[in-house]
Amino acid sequence: MKPQYWFRWLSVQGTPRVVLRLQARRGDPFAELVAGPAGYTDPYPLIERLRGEGRIIRTAIAFATFDHELCRSLLRDNRFGVRTQESFRVPKSMTKLAERFPLPPNPVEPPSMLVIDPPEHTAMRKPVASAFTPRAVGRLRDRVESVTEELLDALPSDGSADLIESFAAQVPIAIISEMLGFPDEDRAMFLDWGDRMTPLLDLGIPWRVHRRALRAMEVMNDYLDRHIERLRRDPGEDILSSLVTTGELDDHALKATASLLMGAGFETTVNLIGNGVVQLLAHPDQQERLRAEPELWPNAVEEILRFDSPVQTTARTALTDVDIDGVRIREGDTVVLSLAGANRDPAVFTEPERFDVGRENAKDHLSFSSGVHVCLGASLARMEGVYALRALFGRFPELRLDGPPQRRELFTLHGYHRVPIRLGRRAAMPEPSVV
């Protein structure tokens, strides 16, 4: 491991980690939320405590809001830009140090479209947007259905399995691998890289976790170099082949885009499916309603996204001085936007702590963000989630937990590392419904 990576961790993650841990020991609910373990086991009591402190609050490292209206408006406000970890209250000398040690192309640093603003963001997003239009996603429906059926056929009737490893992760990784032209046999490797690299989205991660992520990043960078070279010689019909052949992006940008699509293409959906199964098993009355009214499955997915948000938070940095709800935000200040808090705002959602697959305004959640950075793959994640969950509960109507689910130790991405299930008897596959 390159020694400069340690200095980078110290400036980007180590300093915020010390601040957060000290604040958490003093009982600061925001620090407890971000630093864990409450932030990844059950963040909602802390979110409600913080909501009671005001619509926008000042914390040790940033401003924060848990208010639906403010989150939605800030996501759409061009006076704010996307943030990197360096945007938080870290001494400028530390941020300058970080800039001296760039990382290989990855999803959490420029030129990844996740962390750049227009016009650069527009230029990066435009070449891939056509692959995620409703029409393009509709063409993937048959493939999603066939992958789902293959995975369900492989599950042992009346046996036990880990839902995440055997099903929830496999549906989205199969689809995004095809979309990027990756061989099927490499899927397990992608899942491992994703598991190692997703902590980089959090703030204040330990050095050992950071080091593990960087090693995966270096291996992935070498893999993408070889894959892009193959596509230049023999392009296919996938998104990455199209980007390679048009020449709109250089190799660095190609790899940043590929790594972002690879991660974003399955992270939200695997958490959506896992969270959905756990919530439906905890609410058998809602399962019964879906059996009686299968047309509610698309709305049920919206309620899962609202109730237990796969992406809990994002942030924006002020590009100029601005007043928000009577609070002065200076240029360069960061505002943490709690999507999970917005999705349980009682001003928008009646009885927000109640899981209701028939909730009329469930789709008003902000789990896919909003504004120019709204999730490109939202329609694909929805379609995968609806079909996978409906097919799973249809094929295994006696499905139940076979032990306590284990949460991933992440704050930003909220899902399960392991969900042990007992499948029960196998039923006939239900007829597909329109998604």
Please enumerate in sequence order all residues whose Cβ is within 8 A of that of 41, keeping only pairs 6 or more positions apart, or say none.
407
CATH code of 254's domain: 1.10.630.10
- Report the pLDDT value the prediction gives residue 264, as an integer from 0 to 100: 86
Looking at the domain assignment, is residue 428 inside a domain? no
- Report the pLDDT value the prediction gives residue 1, as an integer from 0 to 100: 60
Closest CA to 271 of 397, 361, 169, 147: 169
pTM over 0.75: yes
CB atoms within 10 A of CB 27: 8
C-alpha to C-alpha distance for 384 and 171, rounded to whole angstroms: 7
Phi, psi of 420 (to 5 degrees): -75, 130
Looking at the domain assignment, is residue 362 inside a domain? yes
Looking at the domain assignment, is residue 128 inside a domain? yes
- Report the pLDDT value the prediction gives residue 12, as an integer from 0 to 100: 82
Looking at the domain assignment, is residue 120 inside a domain? yes
What is the Cα gyration radius of the chain?
Answer: 21
Looking at the domain assignment, is residue 431 inside a domain? no
Count of domains forming the chain: 1
Looking at the domain assignment, is residue 433 inside a domain? no
- Report the pLDDT value the prediction gives residue 434, as an integer from 0 to 100: 47
- Report the pLDDT value the prediction gives residue 339, as an integer from 0 to 100: 98
- Tell me how far apart the terminal alpha carbons of the chain are, to the nearest angstrom: 46
Looking at the domain assignment, is residue 241 inside a domain? yes
Q: Strands (DSSP E) along 301-405, which ranges?
A: 313-318, 322-324, 327-329, 334-338, 400-401
Looking at the domain assignment, is residue 305 inside a domain? yes
* Type and span of the H or E element at 60: none
- Report the pLDDT value the prediction gives residue 61, as an integer from 0 to 100: 86
C-alpha to C-alpha distance for 362 and 301, rounded to whole angstroms: 9
Closest CA to 57 of 255, 361, 337, 276: 337
HSE (side-chain half, CA atoms, 13 Å) at 411: 23
The 10s digit of each residue's pLDDT in 308-320 is: 999 999 999 999 9
Spans in the chain with pLDDT lower than 70:
1-3, 83-102, 429-435
- Residue-range definition of the domain harbouring residue 218: 3-422
